[in-house]
């Protein structure tokens, strides 16, 4: 989360950490970081953030979800724990912890044509895999073996890995472009987990 905030600030965004609905109401974009999706799910309900976030996603708020954040954005989650819910918004099926023990953490270079010719250097840490991409979502990037690890749908971006720890800035730039595109005037505002003016 600290890495996301630092990166967004370097890109010129005004970053706020959002824990409560009052804070969330002030932001124009949201980053859902990695961590543990089961915990994010539980805390979002305890702090009454689940409904506001779902509503904001429905209203087109730009969201960047990394790793557990992608799980939270997926419409369908496989290998979830009992009762685990996502916010949804991305027409994809993801599988948690899909890389197995041997390869829980690894780095890989991916081609992500939407971000330019330069490959994305991605760090995977117990990340999910996108097992299927529905008609409303678009694949942004896949591993060499074809497994999808980056998707987009409107202003929602979901990626299985952690660009913020490998110095990759282009997903955050794309997220801020979405934020800016929805604002009447410039001055993007992003925060971790959400952004505000
Ligand atoms: N395995 C975690 C989950 O299911 C995600 C790991 C991560 O975000 N680095 O939420």
User: Which pLDDT score is estimated for 86?
Assistant: 98
Name the one residue in this structure whose structure tokens are 């708020």. 61
Whether the per-residue pLDDT at 179 is higher than 70: the answer is yes
How many angstroms does the Cα of residue 186 sit away from the middle of ligand 1? 34
| Mean predicted confidence (pLDDT) in 26-40 | 96
User: Tell me, which fold does domain 2-182 have in CATH?
Assistant: Rossmann fold (3.40.50)
Does ligand 1 have an atom closer than 6 angstroms to the CB of 84? Answer: no
Whether the per-residue pLDDT at 91 is higher than 80: the answer is yes
Q: Is 67 a catalytic residue?
A: yes
Domain ranges of the chain: 2-182
| Mean predicted confidence (pLDDT) in 116-143 | 96
Confidence of residue 197 (pLDDT cuts 50, 70, 90): very low
Q: How many helices (H) and strands (E) does the chain have?
A: 6, 12
| Mean predicted confidence (pLDDT) in 17-39 | 96
How many angstroms does the Cα of residue 183 sit away from the middle of ligand 1? 31
CB 90 within 8 A of CB 73: yes
Using a cut of 0.75, tell me whether the model's pTM lies above it.
yes
Whether the per-residue pLDDT at 196 is higher than 50: the answer is no
Query: Which two three-digit tokens encode residue 196?
Result: 């505000």
How many Cα atoms sit within 13 Å of 107 on the Cβ side?
A: 11
CA distance 80 to 29: 26
Whether the per-residue pLDDT at 8 is higher than 90: the answer is yes
State phi, psi for 172 to the nearest 5 degrees: -65, -35
Does ligand 1 have an atom closer than 6 angstroms to the CB of 78? Answer: no
Strand 90-95 versus strand 74-78 pairing type: parallel
Mean per-residue pLDDT over the chain, rounded: 92
State the catalytic residue, choosing from 152, 164, 168, 180.
Answer: 164
Confidence of residue 187 (pLDDT cuts 50, 70, 90): low
For 153, other C-beta atoms within 10 Å of its C-beta total 18
């Amino acid at each position: 989360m600290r890495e996301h905030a630092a990166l967004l600030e370097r890109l010129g965004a005004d970053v706020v950490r959002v824990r409560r609905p009052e804070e969330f109401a002030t932001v124009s974009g949201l980053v859902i970081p990695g961590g543990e999706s089961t915990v994010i799910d539980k805390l979002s309900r305890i702090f009454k953030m689940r409904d506001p976030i779902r509503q904001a996603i429905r209203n087109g708020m730009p969201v960047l979800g990394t790793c557990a954040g992608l799980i939270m954005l997926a419409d369908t989650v496989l290998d979830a724990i009992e009762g685990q819910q996502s916010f949804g918004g991305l027409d994809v099926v993801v599988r948690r912890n899909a890389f197995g023990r041997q390869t829980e953490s690894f780095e890989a270079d991916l081609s992500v044509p939407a971000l330019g010719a330069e490959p994305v250097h991605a760090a995977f840490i117990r990340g999910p895999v996108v097992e299927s991409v529905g008609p409303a979502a678009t694949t942004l990037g896949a591993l060499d073996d074809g497994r999808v690890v980056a998707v987009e749908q409107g202003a929602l971006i979901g990626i299985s890995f952690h660009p913020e720890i490998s110095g990759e800035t282009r997903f955050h730039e794309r997220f801020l472009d979405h934020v800016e595109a929805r604002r009447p005037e410039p001055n993007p505002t992003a925060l971790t987990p959400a952004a505000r003016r």
